[in-house]
Chain A
Amino acid sequence: MAISKEHELYARRKSRNIFVSLALVAFVILVFAITIAKFQDGQLIEGFDHSYRATLLKVEE
């Protein structure tokens, strides 16, 4: 067998790595889009870090 510069193994790995990279980028974009969509739907945004939870506060007349 002739010695080739690149073994088929690397071609297989390359296509797999490209696919995994694209899938990860797509996932990041999707999570970002979900976040924006949930905010736009007017869902309650509460910060639990060192702040009051709006839903636990008494309603003032």
Chain B
Amino acid sequence: MVDSTVISKPQEVKISEVLELLKPRVMSLVIFTAFIGMIIAPMGINPVLAFASLVFIAIGAGGSGALNMWWDEDVDRLMKRTRNRPVPAGTVSGEDARLLGLWCSGFAILMLALTANFLAAGILAFTIFFYVVVYTMFLKRRTAQNIVIGGAAGAFPPLIGWASVTNGIALEPILLFMVIFLWTPPHFWALALVTKEEYSLAKVPMLTVTRGEKVTRRYIFWYSISLIPICLLIAFSSIGGPLTLGLVIVLNIMFVLASHQVMTRDADDSARDNYNREKNLFRLSIWYLFVMFAGLGVESMLHTFYEPYLVWPELF
């Protein structure tokens, strides 16, 4: 007798589906910001160790992404943006996602401890814990401040990068942490304005659902204002310089103007142009972070090769 159930429907998981579980787009942001944290650090690091550390940081980020998808299966299934993810789509079981997440996380923490140091591995472990347990399991479904507090999880990578090189923490990477921390709410709320019905349907208490659009638009503006002093402090720190100052001025003016445009309109205005300004703000926020961090990376190289930086007024 032939057991037809085994061969009638393929149940083997494709590699592309496994890789999707690791949230490659989030992973790329983590790699980029951790890399910048490494190159702005005052000490050098062997390129092989730097590369290996980035690989393990990326695997840790991927593990936390898989654990997030395992826990959020029910919510993801209800939202158009997430319903095609492997777990809600049924191509990967929740149990497999959980196992993959746990193994990737444990493996990444252990290997980062052996490659870099225990401090970097400890911060990576805390980041994974914060994202999976604090944000995904508790904050996301309970409070409108979910992404405000949960945003800290995405802000840790520059600290991990810096700690991988120096085996310590300093004010400079903490300021980078603050930039991502304060940048996260306007970034996600701009998206939430566009997809607020979906969050409402999935019963996720985003600010747009609990407090309405008007309050969300005001919060977006004030968070974008709050980025300015932090960015200026970075420009006049040991990792800053004229290039950073120029970028800080231009990027923050653009970001504040875009946020102001979003704040001064209502749902009817947005519906008329299909939330065009909100989508623009979301796209601009991605460029804002990318250009700011890339600028800091270039600045750190200029520090090494260009003498006039010695006269730059560093506050600390």
B-binding residues in A (CB < 8 A): 7-9, 12-13, 15-16, 19, 30, 33-34, 36-38, 40-41
Instruction: Write the nearest CB–CB distance from B282 to chain A, whole angstroms.
Output: 33
Some 27 contacts from A to B, beta carbons below 8 A apart, are A7-B7, A8-B10, A9-B10, A9-B11, A12-B10, A12-B12, A12-B14, A13-B12, A15-B14, A15-B15, A16-B12, A16-B14, A16-B15, A19-B15, A30-B52, A30-B55, A33-B48, A33-B52, A34-B48, A34-B49, A34-B52, A34-B115, A37-B46, A38-B46, A38-B49, A40-B46, A41-B49
Q: CB-CB < 8 A to A16: which residues of B?
A: 12-15
Bound-complex Cα distance A24 to B12 (A): 20
Bound-complex Cα distance A13 to B10 (A): 10
Instruction: Write the nearest CB–CB distance from B5 to chain A, whole angstroms.
Output: 12
Bound-complex Cα distance A16 to B12 (A): 9
Instruction: Write the nearest CB–CB distance from A45 to chain B, whole angstroms.
Output: 15
Within 8 A of A (CB), among B4-59: 7, 10-15, 46, 48-49, 52, 55
Q: CB-CB < 8 A to B13: which residues of A?
A: 12, 16
Q: CB-CB < 8 A to A9: which residues of B?
A: 7, 10-12
Bound-complex Cα distance A19 to B22 (A): 15
Contact size range, B:
10 to 19
Bound-complex Cα distance A11 to B12 (A): 10
Instruction: Write the nearest CB–CB distance from A31 to chain B, whole angstroms.
Output: 9
Instruction: Write the nearest CB–CB distance from A22 to chain B, whole angstroms.
Output: 10
Extra contacts, 17 of them, besides A7-B10, A9-B12, A37-B49 (Cβ < 8 A), are: A8-B10, A9-B7, A12-B12, A12-B13, A12-B14, A15-B14, A15-B15, A16-B12, A16-B13, A19-B15, A30-B55, A33-B52, A34-B52, A37-B46, A38-B46, A38-B49, A40-B46
Instruction: Write the nearest CB–CB distance from B112 to chain A, whole angstroms.
Output: 11
Bound-complex Cα distance A38 to B13 (A): 37
Q: CB-CB < 8 A to A38: which residues of B?
A: 46, 49
Q: CB-CB < 8 A to A8: which residues of B?
A: 10
Q: CB-CB < 8 A to A13: which residues of B?
A: 12
Instruction: Write the nearest CB–CB distance from A32 to chain B, whole angstroms.
Output: 10
Instruction: Write the nearest CB–CB distance from A59 to chain B, whole angstroms.
Output: 25
Ranked 5 nearest A-B pairs via Cβ:
A37-B48, A12-B12, A37-B46, A19-B15, A9-B10
Instruction: Write the nearest CB–CB distance from A53 to chain B, whole angstroms.
Output: 20
Q: CB-CB < 8 A to B55: which residues of A?
A: 30
Q: A36 touches which one: B10, B11, B48, B115 (CB < 8 A)?
A: B48
Nearest CB in chain A to that of B16: its residue = A15
Bound-complex Cα distance A34 to B15 (A): 27
Q: Choose among B10, B11, B48, B115 the residue with the greatest number of A CB atoms under 10 Å from its CB.
A: B48
Bound-complex Cα distance A34 to B46 (A): 9
Nearest CB in chain A to that of B49: its residue = A37
Bound-complex Cα distance A33 to B46 (A): 11
